[in-house]
Structure 1
Amino acid sequence: MLREIHCFTRVADRLSFSRAAADLGMSQPAMSQAITRLERAAGVRLFQRTAREVRLTAEGKALLPYAEQVIESAQAFTGEAARLARPTIHLAYPPLVGTLAARIVRRLAGRGPSIGVELTAAGRGTAVRALANGEVSAAILATPAPAQFVTAARFHVTVDHLAVPAGHRLESRPKVTAAELGGQVLLTPGTRPWPGLPGRSRMVADDDFAAALDLVAAGAGVLPIPQLLARTIRRDDVRFVPLDAGDLRITYALAWSKERVTPELMALVQAVQDALWTR
């Protein structure tokens, strides 16, 4: 029946049995037979046919939107079935490196449609649990990653700005030095304090920079951040000041379970390496 409905929509569009048949690679008699079968099944006439023209009947006009919906649904079904049949990589990543995650997906897509990628933005704790439970295939994690995972494709994000609450004494400085952080509470999204910086560390769970900025705005501390966050986040209650703290950076790596290695996972590793080496 789907084939006959497809024939109906094509004839309705072309208002010509011969042109519709040519579009679908059919003979004109076969097209006429398909329409006749559909009319019998529906119990109504769909077209008025003369030697000179083809017109939709009132019933045909009423049924055409439903026929088009059937065709669209069938196409959607086919497309979704093809997507589900593909091997799919589930990649968890911290929002801070979302630009890289998108580039990785484009790299894999450039290799062909055989591998699908599902992205999940997640903090470290959530990503580690998902990776351990097999809910994701791989995750981009701040290092060091838990020892049970294999890691590769390390890269660094430079930390060169300081987020302070509006009105803070450091907000008007052209650049803040490490020495000026003495006495400050340094918010740390993750599990380790900032290396080489004075001040008292306060950990923020799950390497969540958004939650840490809320604490900055509330006056709970100051937050060293990468420049890319300072460029993209706009808040009236937080100020971003350049920070000169030496070689301060966050190191990330792609991590996965050694028990769940697949050809698709190896393709992902290669795509990450390509994305890092070629900007």
Structure 2
Amino acid sequence: MLREIHCFTRVAARLSFSAAAADLGMSQPAMSQAITRLERAAGVRLFERSAREVRLTAAGKALLPYAEQALESAAAFTAEAARLARPTIHLAYPPLVGTLAARVVRRLAGRGPSMGPSIGVELRAAGRAEAARALAAGEVSAAILATPAPAAFVTAARFHVTVDHVAVPAGHRLAARPRLVPDDLAGQTLLTPSARPWAGLPGHARLVPDDDFAAGLDLVAAGAGVLPIPQLLVRAVRRDDVRFVPLEAGELRITYALAWSRERVTPELMALVQAVQDALWTR
């Protein structure tokens, strides 16, 4: 019946049996037969036909929106069935490395025949504590975590994010500086979204819960401290109440790794590991 409904909508769009048949790669007699079958099944006439024109009947006009909706529903059904049939893994990641996570999703979705079927990835933005909890509970297949990761997890594909700016309140005395060095931060409260203070930076450490840079920037704007951050975040955030000042601090960086449970290894997980490694090599 869907084939006949498709024929009906095409003829309605073209108001020509021959043009609709050509669109669908059918012969004109086959198109006419499909419309006749649909009219018999529906119990109404859909088109007025003459030698010079084809017109929708009142019944045809009334039924056309339902026919279009039926085709849309059928297409949605097919797409959702294909998605459900595709192997899917769940990846938790910190928003800071969302660009990398997106590249991994595209790589796994676009795998060629020689690499096996495409793999769907469900992304879950999460801070370190929440990602580690979800991974331990089996809610996600893998997680990108700031290192060191909990000892219960296997890790691979380590990479570094350089910390080369400091977020300060817009009215702070450091906001107008062209650049900062570590000694400029002496006496400041340093907000840190990790389990350890910033190595090599003076100041008083104050932890931001769950590796949340967004919450850290809110604290900066409120005057609770200053926040060393990567350029990745500087490019993505625009705030009038915060200034980003370049920081010359050598090898200051955050190290991340892909982590997973050794009890839950699957072929899809190994494909994810490879995709992350490939994405890191080709950025």
TM-score normalised by the shorter chain: which range applies? Answer: over 0.9
Is there any run of 5+ residues in structure 1 with no aligned partner, and where? none
Aligned to 1:167: 171
Q: Pick from 227, 234, 237: which aligns with 1:223? A: 227
Using the alignment, how far apart are the partners of 2:205 and 2:16 within structure 1?
Answer: 77
Aligned to 2:97: 97
Once the 2 structures are TM-superposed, how far is the Cα of residue 71 of structure 1 from its aligned partner?
0.6
Once the 2 structures are TM-superposed, how far is the Cα of residue 47 of structure 1 from its aligned partner?
1.0
Using the alignment, how far apart are the partners of 1:17 and 1:181 within structure 2?
Answer: 78
Aligned to 1:15: 15
Once the 2 structures are TM-superposed, how far is the Cα of residue 209 of structure 1 from its aligned partner?
0.5
Moved more, 104-113 or 257-266: 104-113
Using the alignment, how far apart are the partners of 1:241 and 1:28 within structure 2?
Answer: 71
Aligned to 1:184: 188
Mapped contact 2:110–2:118 kept (Cα < 8 A): no
Aligned to 2:108: 108
Once the 2 structures are TM-superposed, how far is the Cα of residue 174 of structure 1 from its aligned partner?
2.4
Is there any run of 5+ residues in structure 2 with no aligned partner, and where? none
Aligned to 1:202: 206
SS at match of 2:155: strand
Q: Pick from 161, 173, 178: which aligns with 1:157? A: 161
Count of residue pairs brought into register by the alignment = 279
Q: Kindly provide the CA deviation profile for residues 242-272 of structure 1, in whole angstroms up to 9, marking residues without a partner as x.
A: 1122211000011111111111111111111
SS at match of 1:187: strand
Once the 2 structures are TM-superposed, how far is the Cα of residue 27 of structure 1 from its aligned partner?
4.8
Once the 2 structures are TM-superposed, how far is the Cα of residue 29 of structure 1 from its aligned partner?
4.2
Q: Kindly provide the CA deviation profile for residues 129-159 of structure 1, in whole angstroms up to 9, marking residues without a partner as x.
A: 1111221111111001111111111000011
Using the alignment, how far apart are the partners of 1:32 and 1:180 within structure 2?
Answer: 82
Using the alignment, how far apart are the partners of 1:177 and 1:17 within structure 2?
Answer: 76
Aligned to 1:278: 282
Using the alignment, how far apart are the partners of 2:193 and 2:247 within structure 1?
Answer: 17
Using the alignment, how far apart are the partners of 2:240 and 2:52 within structure 1?
Answer: 71
The CA RMSD measured in Å over matched residues stands at 1.8
Once the 2 structures are TM-superposed, how far is the Cα of residue 25 of structure 1 from its aligned partner?
4.7
Aligned to 1:146: 150
Q: Does 1:234 align with 2:238?
A: yes
Q: How does 1:69-108 map to 2 (within 5 A)?
A: 69-108=69-108
TM-score by length of 1: 0.93
Using the alignment, how far apart are the partners of 2:10 and 2:179 within structure 1?
Answer: 68
Aligned to 2:136: 132
Aligned to 1:118: 122
Moved more, 145-154 or 164-173: 164-173
SS at match of 1:244: coil
Once the 2 structures are TM-superposed, how far is the Cα of residue 22 of structure 1 from its aligned partner?
4.7
Q: How does 1:25-44 map to 2 (within 5 A)?
A: 25-44=25-44
Q: Does 1:253 align with 2:257?
A: yes
Using the alignment, how far apart are the partners of 1:229 and 1:19 within structure 2?
Answer: 55
Using the alignment, how far apart are the partners of 2:64 and 2:98 within structure 1?
Answer: 44
SS at match of 1:169: coil
Using the alignment, how far apart are the partners of 2:36 and 2:110 within structure 1?
Answer: 45
Once the 2 structures are TM-superposed, how far is the Cα of residue 57 of structure 1 from its aligned partner?
1.3
Amino acid at match of 1:102: A
Q: Kindly provide the CA deviation profile for residues 70-91 of structure 1, in whole angstroms up to 9, marking residues without a partner as x.
A: 1111111101111111001211
Using the alignment, how far apart are the partners of 1:149 and 1:256 within structure 2?
Answer: 5
Once the 2 structures are TM-superposed, how far is the Cα of residue 185 of structure 1 from its aligned partner?
1.1
Percent identity over the alignment is 85
Using the alignment, how far apart are the partners of 2:242 and 2:151 within structure 1?
Answer: 37
TM-score by length of 2: 0.92
Moved more, 125-134 or 230-239: 230-239
SS at match of 1:270: helix
